[in-house]
Each structure stands twice: as C-alpha cells, then as structure tokens.
Structure 1
Amino acid sequence: MSCYDNKNLELISLIWLDNMADATQENREIQDKLRSAVNYLRTFDNCQTCEHYIRNIINDKQDKLILIVSGKLGQEIIEKIHHLKQIISIFVFCIDKDRNELWANNYKKIRGVIVTLNDLLKQIDLDRKSDEQKLNESINIFKNKDEIFPLLLQIDSSPIDKRSLLKICFKEYEGNLNEFESIRDFEHLYSSSNALDWFFNETFLYRLLIKALHVFNIEIIFLLRFFLQDIEQQLKNCLSSSEIVYRGQLMTNDQIEFLNNSIYEKNLRFNSFIIANQNKEQVLKSLLNTSNTNGLNRVLFEIDSNQIGKKHKEFIIFPITTCFHITSIELDKQIRIVKIKVFNTYKLNEKKTKNSFQLAHLLRHIGRLDQSEKLFYLLLDQYPSLNFQSYDGLGRIAQDKGLYELSLNFYMKSFEIVPFEHRAHCLNNIGCAYDYLENYEDALQYYAEALTLMTTDPDQAMCLSNMGITYAKNEQYQQALQCFQQSLSIRERKLSENHVDIGISYTNLGVIWSTMGELDHALEHFNLALKSFSVNDFEIFRAIVYQNMAKIFQEKTQFDRALTFYQDAEKLFQQHRSIDHPNLIYIQQQIQQLKQQQ
C-alpha cells in the first residue's frame, strides 16, 4: 500500500476484487506476489466499495488501473465500469475458465481468464510494461510560459534531498522485497555517471520521475532534481542528432484540438523527456498495433532533431528543457502526422546559481499556488534556519487564496524569527494582511514602521503604494493620492516605462481617480497600466485592471463594454486563483447581473 499522501507515486495501480481477497493467509501471500508486478495494490471484497473507489477515489486523469476480478464479482461489476478511461486492462482470476470465458469475451478490456497464479503474474507483468510504455509515450503538451525546469536545474542538490527521497521510497515500497532491493542498490550504487541507465532500465526511480512529471508532483520533482541534472549532464556528452526522428502516441480529442490551435505557437513543450526513434516503420507498426479501447487518436510526431536530440543506444532523447513549434499537421488514413522542429535555448551550467526559494516563489508567481505551498512546507523541514522565508512564502500564498487570517498568522510566525535586515519586509507584509482584514489603523501603523527601516527606493515605493491602498480603502483619498504619486515619482526615476511596478502605480492612481469620480482620468491611467502589464505578461495584474475598467463602464452605463471587461478578468482570474477566491466570485456575480440586464 502506498502511504505517501495516500496517492500512488507510479502511473499504474492494481485492484483485486474478490470476496476472499483478505480472508486467507494464502491470499495475503498472493498480494505480496502481485505487488512484485505492480507496487500499488488495493483489495476489495464487494462490488459497491470497489466501484466507489474506482469512480471517486481514483479521479486523477493520469492514474490508470489494472483490475483483477473473480468470476462471480466480475460479472456483477464489469458492465458498470468497463467504459471508464482509467481502467486499461482487466483479468478474470477464477477456477472455472470455460464458464467465465462465455461472458468475458464480450469485453475488450478483459485480457484473459486465468486460473493459475503464475500465469496471472506473468500476464500482469507483461501488460504493466506495455501499458507503462504507452502511458509514458502519452505525455502532454503545453505552452511554455514559465522557466520552471531551467530554474530547477540550477538549484544545487544536497544530501538532505536524497535522505528525504529514500524515506519516501522505503515507505512507498514497504513490503515489496524486489523494490526494496532496488532502493538499496540506488542508495549505495547510484552515481551521476549512470543516471541514463537508471532511466532506461525503468527502475523505481524512473517510474517515480515519470509519474511526477505527468502530474507535476512538485515535491517529488524537487527531490529528484539531482536525477534530472545528472541526465542532462550525461546527455551533453552524447552524440547529437540532426536527423528526422519519430515517436508515436495516442492522444485525446482535446489534445488534438490543442495541437490544431497551436500551429503558430513558437514555444511549446512536452511535460517530460521526448524519446524518439530513427526507424519510422518500426514506430508506425508499434503505433498501429497499440490497443486503443478508449477511442483515442493515433499521432505520429515527425521531429526535426536540429542537433538537439542526443543518441543513447537505439534511442534519440531530447533534454527536458526542449521546446518546439509545429510546422504542419496532416491526416494520413487513421494517423495524424504532426511535424515539429525542436530548439533549446537553455545551457546547462555546472555551477548552480539558484536556490529553492526562488523556485517556490516562481510557482506562486505563475499561479501554481498549491504546488508552491507544498514546496514551502517541504522547505520548512529541509532548511530550519530559513523558516522565516518559508513562513513568508506561505503567508503570500494564503493571501493569494483569500485566506487573510491564515496569511497574518504566517507573517507573524516569520516576524518572530526574522533577521533584522529582513524586518522591514516582514512588517510590510503584516500591514498587507491587516489591510485585507479591513483593520486599516493597524495596517498603516505597520507600514509606517516598515517605511522607517527601508533603505532602497524600490522598497520605499512599494511601501508607499501599500499605504495609499489602505488610505483609499479608509476613504482618505487625498492621503492615498499623495502616497501613490510619491511612489510613482520614485519608480519613474529608476525604472523603464514598461516595468511592472510602473503599471502597478498607474493602476492605483486609476482606482483613486475612479473613486473620486474622475472616470475618464481613471481610464487613462488604467490604459497606461495595461501597456506595462502586456509587455511583462503579468496576467493577474491585467485581470485586476480589467475588473476596475469594467466597474467604470458600469457607472457609465456602457454595459456591453463592462461585460466584456468582466469576462476578460474572469478568464485570467480562473487561471491564477482558486474558484472560491473573493475577487472571482464578485466578478462572476457581476457577469450574471449584466447578462440578466441584456
């Protein structure tokens, strides 16, 4: 049984449904043997709880199931769950083979009716390897808007990471003797020079990495960054390929639509390593022979290696930082042929120049709040002497989620242990929390104290901006206007007109002018803000501006324009905030009201 976060850390889970699965010592011994084929095993003795688990517990699109059923319970449950996409294969493990084959032959996902344990183990192991290969090939594609992996590769690993990883692995594979032995080998024999062997031999390390990349499990990815770094370093020493190479995979209709809509995008990326083959006929044969019980699309990627791909044995493997653009998409009978050209601007630097907190803040900045939160909690354990930074990060995340009391608690924890040189920033954050809690008197008090400790222009401009926001909320508009103008004046002396902080200043001034009834003056400042934010691609700030512009057009009774701006704001907030965030809820309420007025 998996113990880490109560989730399977590999791609495939195994379920055994039999009313005697846990009833005898013999069957408990069978469970141990089954785990040698698929580590994550769940047993059920009735159809109701089994079906509930399959439908509701295994709800991650990336999790796939191999199901073992007895003859009697199999007849009862398979009709109900056979269509579910998370189920990739089914085995009927029974005594009466002939009788059960009569009904089993009606279901495509049933791979066999089996009466001996050895045959069952052999078939599950074969299917698991085949299914894993298909799942590993079915990696997703997305627009590469962030620099997560280049940053990750520049964060030095430490012995703490390996100890943390080993602790997770020993817990995850507890009772699995085969994997325990492999973990011991890793503990004593792994070196940076044999990373590719650990990857291509499909060890537990490989399976953990592939699943983590598929679902973006940031804790595991972070702990495995040494493995990613070692693979990238080894690839540097492999021969480059300039040939056209091929990979096949099954893709959903949504993925096909994404490809069609991205044909002019210049910066796409797979969410894992691209592994390809020089033999087109071999790839096509494998693609056509791949079982397709879920109605997926067969896709052949024709990849221009562009000296980026590296030769390792019979494979061509591309670094994880590889990006690509699509040059064409064609339909040839049953197969879509997607031609892509790869590029990679990232250069691996043996000297590690980044730190873990930069990654956690990047995740927060691009809207991956849950992943950022998990990483900050991990850093609490790994770097106790820097807990003030972790608490600060957790406070910012709670603030982004609209959990302002929790945010204040984290900031206060940080303040208790923060070194003097970081005290001003901590006081400023506490002021922000009080502001969100509508305790404006305390907010202004903390801002004022922070301002006396700040020694740089950017910090002073930020603090003045925050004070202006609080004055505005407290209906002290002249004081707010004065703070915002002082902040903008400082920033204009030091920053370019397209800098995000200039955009923030224009936004704040727009809000004040709007509040004071100067609507056209406010719109002028909001448009200036959008120019700054469009250059810097700060979507959450654009969302805030759109929301404020929508309010102005509501006041001007230009309801169509108001609705358009609210919808633009909603779209961006949905990408960067939780569904229960107060701003998003407010915007959706306004959209509903405006639609009712039409």
Structure 2
Amino acid sequence: MSYSDNQNLELISLIWLDNMADATQENREIQDKLRSIVNYLRTFDNCKQCEDYIRNIINDKYDKIILIVSGKLGQEIIEHIHHLKQVISIFVYCIDKNKNELWANKYKKVRSVIVQINDLFEQIDLDRKSEEQKLNQSIELLINKDEIIPLILQIDSSLIDKKYLLNICSKFYENNITELENIREFEHLYSSTNSLDWFFNETFLYRLLIKSLQIFNIEIIFLLRFFLQDINQQLIYCSTVYERVYHGQLMTIDQINLINQSINDKYIRFNSFIIANRNKEQVINSLLNSSNTNDLHRVLFDIDSNQIGKQYKEYIIFPITTYFRIISVNFEKQIWIVKIIVFNSNKSNENENKNKNPFQLAHLLRHIGQLDQSEKLFYLLLNQYPSMNSQCYDGLGRIAQDKGLYDISLNFYLKSLQTVSLKNRAHCLNNIGCAYDYLEQYEYALQYYSQALTLMKNDIYQAMCLSNMGITYAKNEQYQQALECFQHSLSIREKSLSDNHPDIGISHTNIGVVYSSIGQLDLALKHFNLALKSFSSNNSDINQAIVYQNMAKIFQEKNQFDQALQFYKNSENIFQLFRPVNHPNLVYIQQQINQLKQQN
C-alpha cells in the first residue's frame, strides 16, 4: 500500500513554526495536546523549510492548513504564504501580544494573537470544527452514472481488510492518545448494528471516510467498504421520510453551472452520504453564517425524498448510492436553490448480488482512465491476496502499457507468467507478445503470439491473437502477412459478434492501417469509417481516438490539412481523457497539431 508518514488521511493539517517548537519538554507536551485536536501536525524552526513544505502540498485542493507561528518567524513568513488558498487560518502564539498585533492585524487570515496556551487550544478546536463542517459540506457531485462506489459495495469485505485498515490507522494516529483509544474501542466493540453511531460520532473512522471520498483515495475507500456496506444496510431498518427535506453545502461556480446544464436531462449522485434537515430556515441560516469566498458559493438543495430518505435519531440521511434528478436551479437572496427529486435509490444495485471480484473494480478504474488509482488498488490486492499475484501482475502490466512504460509492462507480464494457471497461460503469452511488439522486438513478439495461439481454444481469443500478430507484421512492413491475419481475425469476429461490437471496429481499423501503409488510401478510409460505425455507441472511446489519428495521417498525405487538423484534434480530445500527458501517442498527436497550425 502506498500510505506513507507524509500522507494526511484527514482533511486538515496543523503546522507550528517556532524556533523552540521541538526544543523543550513543555513544547513537546503542547504538541501532544495539539494532535488531539488536529492529528496531522508538522513542526518547523525555519521559515524557508516551512514555506517550501506548504507550497509542496498546495496542489491538493482538499488539504487545508491551520498555521501557528511565533511573533518573529510569523512576521517573516506570513507575507509569503498568506495568499495561498490552502492556508485557511493563522494563529500567532507569542509573549508580547500588543507588539505582534501591530503587524498581525493587517492580515485577514490571522484569527488571533494569543499568549495563553489554553486559549490557543480552544481557538484551534473551534476553527477546526468550523472548517471541517465547511469542508464536509463541499462534497462533489457526480453527473450521470458513476459505477465505482456501487461496485465497491458489491465486493464482500473481509477480516483482512479491517486488520489492514487498523494497522494504517494505528500508524497514522501513533501520537494521538484519544484516537488510539477510539481505534481500540472500534476493534473490540464495532459491529454492523452500531455503524451509524460510529459515523455520526465523527471519530477517526468518519474523518477517514470523508477525506477518502473527497479525494477518491481508492485504497482507503476499498478498505472502508465494510463501513459503507454496514451503513447502507442499517439505513434499511430506519424509518422512511416522506416530506421535503433540505441540505446546504458550498460549491464552486463550475459545479453550479454543471448542475444548471443538467436540468431534467441527467441525474446526479453526491460522493458522500447526504445529511438533510426538515427545517428549511435552519439550513438557510447555517449557510448564511458560513463564509462565502470567491471560490465557494452557498447552495440549498430542496429535496423531494420520494420515500427514500431515512430518519436516524435527529438526522435524515440518504444512502450513498442515491441518485437524484435535477428539477430547477434559481438564485435567491445570496443562495442558489436547487430543487431535486430522488430518481432511483440504489439504482445500480438492483438485481445485483454481492461477491463481485475486487479485480473487476481495478480493471474498471483502468478502463475509465483512472490509471493511478487502478495501480494503487492492484498493489493493495497484491499485498492482500498473494495467491492471486498473477492477476495483479497482469493488471499492473496493462497499466504500465497504457502509460507507455513498455519495459516495466514486460517485466510485470513475465512475473505473471511464473504463477499463471494453465487456463490463463495463453492470455499471458499474448500480453508478453504485445509488450515485445511495443518494444519493437518483433521476432520475440511473433514467437509469443504463436505460442499463445496454439493454446487458445476460444475463437474470440484466437481472433484477438491473430489481430495482434497482424499488428506486429504491419510494423515490420510485412503487409501481406498482416492483411491475412487481420482478415482472418475479422471473419472469426463477424461470425460471433454483432456489427457494432468494438472488436469488429478494431479489425476494420487494423485493415485500414495496412491499406494506408501500402498507399491504398481510399480503401483505408472505407475501413476506418466502418470502424467508427462500430464504435459509435461510445463517443469517448480510445479506439475512436486511434481511428481519428489514422484518418488524420491520410488527410495529411492528401494535403487536406484542415481535415487532418480536425481529426487530430478529435483524437487528442479522447486521448487526454484516458492517457497521461507524456504518453507517446498523445505527444505525437500534439506535435502534428502544432505543425499543421504553423502550416496554416
């Protein structure tokens, strides 16, 4: 797992800049008390090091910093970091209050100049609670169907997961006596029946869940799936809410515009549990009391609960899998009013059973372009399921291949081959062939493809392997052999698959590439257009990007530069969704776009 000592698993960081912060026993005791308020504490006695640290973490839009400074060092650093959005509040802890107020009062983020340590503890605790409430409100919306959380809920949890999670928590909270006690209590007393209590008590479990959902930390979400499952299950037994309820939160103008564009057309899901209130005025007052910044705007969700909202004690909560339809958006008296109705709760769970394979989740993340998250999950699975390491290495090899890291991809595939089952051996040999192909070692590629083909009993797998062999022949300029492989592959697929199946499109793409290479450009365009018809059901498919790229090359050869430029742009738009910015294909496309623009 990629968790490290430098990773904050909660929403807020606390930084203390004082040249005596670590120098005395008294200050070390102060640190213990501060950690009981904000667990993630870093101390510095040097302004430059402190500033560098703050700047290094400001790329994470969710990390928020509370800063404690001494009078002298505070005066030196504040002008350099005050403008940074992640710095939400500053406290000057000093001996001479009057002297330091002279310069500190010029800065809006300086909450207070304090000389008594208990006052500092109290002020930081109040500030933390206020900011956590604000951050918890600024949960994001997911437009249209989002499959990740629903799929996670269908994967059985295990005792291994809980132990793994507790080990992470024990390490993260090792200097926090309060949370270590909570961890021990959880270990002995937690059960599915008290999951809602643990959620609303806002201990370490709640804060880890909120942060991981906000930043989409797939490792922590995966390990916490038992908690999500237990909460959803407990909500079934809570009483149903029939009337309208209200939820307030802070959102960016981009999010609000996205909602506005989705009225009556799309549905949304919040990336956390929605806590609502029957009292509209109470929610409005809470919103008005929250600070309205340039980045975040007050939004009131007026919710028709449609008999899905659940009452738990004084709370009204909606399951995390609840989908909503947007009815209207209006701006009234400093607040955006968004009327929504529950569209279909647990939509993606209908007729679905649990026992989903965790590898399905890892492959789904890869398929939608979340390569880093997919990689993290495969490494987690590699640690937790040693008997499945062949599947993990296979997945890691695919991700490395998608990133254009072909040497690394080959190494993972070779590791996978060492323990792969006989049933999956042909598939693994085929992947090794692909890796050698990308490395331009075509003789090795063809050897592994041939081995794979002799083991394959399924026609569709044979078609895939023939297709890969054709690609290697084409790269090696053996066009007749390539065409024979592609045509054989297409004939197999046409017997087994529908006309709009993407594999049919892939075959036409490959045939088009060969015709393009031997100068039969019109025949190539014919097959590329047939390929696009097969891919038409998905307008953001990586296969489409490849077709657009090849069509652009043909139009370049025909000196039809405007069309070439348009097809390169179409290809670039899709590649940017699924590939890292330094991927060789994307770099090449962008070079061609720049070259064509210069010609115009």
TM-score calculated relative to the size of structure 2: 0.96
Q: Provide Cα deviations, 1:215-266, integer angstroms capped at 9, x if missing partner.
A: 1111111111111111111112222334322222222233333333444641
Cα distance change, pair 36–398 in 1 and its aligned pair in 2 (3 A):
same
Give 1:469-488 correspondences, 5 Å limit.
Answer: 469-488=471-490
Contact kept? 1:233, 1:348, Cα under 8 Å: no
Corresponding residue for 1:439?
A: 441
Distance 2:155 2:341 in 1: 29
Give the Å deviation of 1:110.
Answer: 2.1
Q: Is 2:577 the partner of 1:575?
A: yes
Whole-Å separation in 2 of the counterparts to 1:103 and 1:164: 48
Other-structure match for 2:47 = 47
1:196-228 Cα distance to aligned partner (Å, 9 max, x none): 111111110010011111111111111111111
Is 1:484–1:505's contact at 8 Å kept on the other side of the alignment?
yes
SS at match of 1:6: coil
Q: Confirm or deny: 8 A CA contact 2:57 2:63 kept in the other structure.
A: no
AA aligned opposite 1:329: V
CA distance in structure 2 between the aligned counterparts of 1:307 and 1:220, rounded to whole angstroms: 31
Greater mean deviation of Cα atoms: 77-86 or 566-575: 77-86
3-state DSSP of counterpart to 2:88: strand
| Residue from 343, 348, 353 that aligns with 2:355 | 353
Q: Is the 8 A contact 1:153 1:348 kept in 2?
A: no
Match of 1:153 in 2: 153
What do residues 503-544 of structure 1 show as CA deviations (whole Å, max 9, x unaligned)? 211221221222222222222222222222231456211111
Closer, same or farther: CA 48–218 of 1 in aligned 2, 3 Å: same
Change (3 A) 1:360 1:295: closer
Equivalence for 1:105? 105
Counterpart CA distance in 2 for 1:4 and 1:313 is 37
Q: Report the equivalent of 1:289.
A: 289
Counterpart in the other structure of 2:89: 89
Contact residue 15 and residue 67 of structure 1 kept, 8 A: yes
Counterpart position of 2:493? 491
Structure 2: any 5+ residue segments left out of the alignment? none
Which runs of structure 1 show a deviation greater than 4 angstroms over 4 or more consecutive aligned residues?
Answer: 348-351
Most deviating of 278-287 and 136-145: 136-145
Larger CA deviation: 182-191 vs 86-95: 86-95
| Residue of structure 2 in register with 1:365 after alignment | 367
Local SS of the residue matching 1:14: strand
Corresponding position of 1:273: 273
Q: Is the 8 A contact 1:13 1:64 kept in 2?
A: yes
Q: Secondary structure at the match of 1:4?
A: coil
Q: Which residue of 2 aligns with 1:521?
A: 523
Partners of 1:499 and 1:536 within 8 A in 2: no
Q: How far apart are residue 350 of structure 1 and its match?
A: 9.2
Asked if residue 226 in structure 1 is aligned to residue 230 in structure 2, the reply is no
**Aligned residue in 2 for 1:122:** 122
Secondary structure in structure 1 of the residue aligned to 2:440 = coil
Map of 2:25 onto structure 1: 25
| CA deviation map 1:138-181 (0-9, x unaligned) | 01123345411121111111111011101100100011110100
Deviation at 1:368, TM superposition (A): 0.5
Tell me the residue number matched to 1:377.
379
Change (3 A) 1:303 1:530: farther
Moved more, 45-54 or 415-424: 45-54
SS in 2 for 1:302: strand
Name which of 509, 512, 515 aligns with 1:510.
512
Q: Report the CA distance shift for 1:292/1:67 in structure 2 as closer, same or farther (over 3 A).
A: farther
Residue type of the partner of 2:327?
T
How far apart, in 2, do the equivalents of 1:540 and 1:350 lie? Answer: 28
Q: 1:378 and 1:87 mapped to 2: Cα distance? A: 32
Aligned to 1:334: 334
Which residue matches 1:397? 399
Counterparts of 2:430 and 2:401, CA distance in 1: 13
Percent of counterpart pairs with the same letter?
75
SS at match of 1:151: helix
CA offsets per residue over residues 17-59 of structure 1, 9 Å max, x none? 1121111111111101100000000111122221121122342
2:25 aligned with 1:14: no
Distance 2:138 2:93 in 1: 29
CA contact (8 A) 1:88 1:109 kept: yes
Distance 1:174 1:183 in 2: 11
Mapped partners of 1:3, 1:29: distance in 2: 27
1:566 is aligned to 2:562 = no
Give the match's secondary structure for 2:37. coil
Aligned match of 1:299: 299
- Partner Cα separation in structure 2 for residue 108 and residue 467 of structure 1: 65
Q: Would the aligned equivalents of 1:3 and 1:171 in 2 still touch at CA under 8 Å?
A: no
Residue 560 of structure 1 deviates from its aligned partner by 1.1
Q: CA deviation at 1:381?
A: 0.9
Give yes or no for contact 1:108–1:293 (8 Å, CA) kept in 2. Answer: no
Stretch moving more, 269-278 or 168-177 = 269-278
**1:523–1:442: structure 2 CA closer, same or farther, 3 Å change rule?**
same
Preserved contact between residue 267 and residue 326 of structure 2 (Cα < 8 Å): no
d(CA) in 2 for partners of 1:503, 1:319: 40
Change (3 A) 1:348 1:156: farther
Structure-2 change in CA distance of 1:35 and 1:504 (3 Å): same
**C-alpha distance in 2, partners of 1:212/1:348?**
26
What is the CA distance between 1:552 and its match in structure 2? Answer: 1.4
How many Å apart are 1:352 and its aligned residue? Answer: 2.1
CA contact (8 A) 2:144 2:266 kept: no
